[in-house]
Structure 1
Amino acid sequence: MAATPSKLKIQAQTGITAVLLVFCIYIIATEPSESDKLKWAFGVVGIIIGYWLK
């Protein structure tokens, strides 16, 4: 059974989102509060939420 291009697109978007969210949540959980990495991670989470709420 061949996947359609639109199904592959959704799967790729979901996979990339999941990987980025896991990475960002790890950074948020482990970095000290004054870290620049923490600000970057919160920014990426905001971008992801904005993308999916479009």
Structure 2
Amino acid sequence: PAEGKGAMQGVSYIQRLATRGGVAPSVDCTTQNKGARQVVQYQADYVFWTAK
């Protein structure tokens, strides 16, 4: 659950819908590439639910 005040105040559940992409990068995570950035195509719709 979200705590404090702000945009997520009162949100009790987040639902992810219609996901596309998000495949893990093909490069292994090693000390040699630590800090390197990988761009992964990802898209999703999110619904934020509050308890009433």
Q: TM-score band (shorter)?
A: under 0.3
Using CA pairs below 8 Å that are at least 6 residues apart, which structure has the higher relative contact order?
2
TM-score (structure 1 length as normaliser): 0.24
**Bigger helix share:** 1
Q: Larger Cα Rg: Structure 1 or Structure 2?
A: 2
**Bigger strand share:** 2
TM-score (structure 2 length as normaliser): 0.25
